[in-house]
Chains A and B, each alone.
Chain A
Amino acid sequence: MKNMESLRTQCALQGALSAANAIGGVIPVVHSTAGCAYQNYLAGGLANGGQGAGLAGGLAVPSTNIVEKHVVFGGSARLREQLKNAVKVFEGKLFLVLSGCTPNLVGDDSKAMVEEIETQGYPAAYVQASGFHGSAYTGYELAVRSLVDFASKKTASPLTTVKGLINIFGIVPGQDTFWQGELLSLSREFSAAGLILNPLFGFNQTVENWKNIPHASLNLSLSTWGSGIVEYLKEKFGTPALKRSFVPVGAEDTKQLLLDIAGKLNFDEKQINNHAEKKEQEADYFISQFAEAYFNFNFQTDFSIAGPLSQAVGISRFLAYNLGFTPKTIIITDAPQLKDEPIGDILPHIDTKVNVFFTEDGNEISGLLKKGNPGLILGSTIDRITAEEKGAAHLSISLPVSDRIVLNRGYAGYSGALNLIEDIGTVLLKRRTQK
């Protein structure tokens, strides 16, 4: 295995913790060393567009903060104590125990502690989220499965299917900086098109929304990290699954996604086409407003991008097909396992030879971004140094994002594309005026 520097992906515990923090009423209880929960406050929060906090998030996460004594003699009793305290302090709809590396190495029976607190009448569930299991994406997936198992036990029967109700997975809180914006934007698009999106995470989302999962008529995954989940749900509830590898940005990809869904659900395409038409008109209006500036300031540029697959591909497609930018290098930072998949499927019809790489190593990424002198670099805040060195414009779009605040901004859907134009336009303009 390769030694990595300047990683952009957090560990499984962080993914699971961010997921828990993004659901109203879920109180995470971390069973690990003190630094583990703190790391989430830093990387999943402050270095993630200034997000984080929440009722039991940020620095307020209940944590067992285990020390050597618990390593040697086991830490189950410490967890029991922490759970007892947590239920006194928080009025949770679910106490989600997340056990980190050490407790799982020494074999703590965390599950038994969870069952114990459950028998005392508190809602509780367990995720074995050791950092060594994998990345934040793995942690997200593990947490989602556990949340699904917990909530579906409480789903009102019969398990009727609500036509047009769609659960969405694969947009990962705390790791995808724009997760909240993407979910809000897609929810708006879906409802305007006559569909109902169940975003599950973020604003207004609570355990109640999770209970509705079995009622959905479709489970949608918008990254590789949701595909295991939608398969699991297919097995569990028989719900059909639709898997896409990227989050759509702009009119064409958004419309295509809605049409794919309509096809899958035998849904009336008319409504979708109507919606798409309206949105396209809106987008055209604004883009035409921008046309003057685009030519006047000579915005058209080549670009390189580093980020998770779902984002890098969605953004690259929009920039290439709709703005006429030329992609130079695409670096996928989250999915080394996809190295051998045909990448041509993702970015067809582009004249220039696009170089696609799969790496998470900071050194390698900076080397790859430097090559070809792109005018614009989209990546993490780490890549700003590379961009400055090369005189390229730079926009932080993937973790760590510590030079901008991102609350409900997103690039998905029709409105997201306008956000992207604004953000990219701004950094390009800035570079111009600096020169």
Chain B
Amino acid sequence: MTLYTSRQIGLNGRHGGMIAPVIAVGGCDLHGPQSALSPAGVGAEQISSLFWWMAGGAVLIWAVVIGIALYATLARPRKKHDVQGARWLIIGGGIVFPTVVLTILLSYGLMLIPKLRSTGNVDLHVAVSGEMWWWRVRYTSPAGEPVELANEIRLPVGKRVSLSLTSPDVIHSFWVPSLSGKVDMIPGRENTLILEPTKPGTYRGVCAEYCGASHAFMAFRVVVMEPQDFEAWLTHQAQPAVSSGSPSARQGEQAFLVNGCGACHTIRGTAADGRVGPDLTHVGSRLSLGAGMLPNDAQTFARWIGHTQQIKPEVRMPSFGMLPEEQLTALATYLSGLK
């Protein structure tokens, strides 16, 4: 499956903000970045083995039932079966067998829960808040300072991570199928999800609870890294923004502050300290833009800033298409350069 769905975006507002998503669906790709069947975390491994056992059992039961049906209708046994035997077949196959199987499955499922949910031995705490329609992510830096990031989660491989999940607006649900099951983010409540990634790689997470117009565009990447790479990454993310300082980037920084972007966005190290939208301090280093919607390059920055409303229905950021082309380009250069 391709990470970025290819979609044509009506670039002139005349199409009434219509977007025509041409989504390249990868069919049944078991090894995609968002597949519960190619697990890369302890939770997902247990879920997928449970799935395969249940699928196998279901196929077996189906075959037996269909086999008996075919026997009864096609084979037409010459000798009638006696009523007593048939009754025991019904009691055995229709009551005892399913009860035993369901009891085993239920006990197995219940047995998994305490270990999966235990908050003991946690190496890392991350707070994630689902907001219409993006993800606010809070780490604690190696120096003990809170670091706010957005729309991307990086985790050290082999470590147990506790995510505290909240929402300030409506119910969302946090789901990274490759790593674990999903947990709802409920306003006024703090839910916990334990992740234990086992394979380095880049996975896709989504909101799994309908939350409004752009629910389907509320995704994020999870990058599982070697622990020392993770430390380096987090240390870097904790730093203030570093701009390239080129004339265009400097013009972009000016445009950012002058046009009021800073009322909603923070760029650490500048005067912009808004808290409404995602932190943009290192936005250029992320793998995607607009909560998993667009690839991250200067071109898509310009498109996002100029056509926000057309790209993402009802998004809580105004389009800045009225800005002169040159300012949009400068903003794009500046922001994409914030690595």
Q: Do A and B come from one complex?
A: no
Which residues on B are within 8 Å of A, measured CB to CB?
none
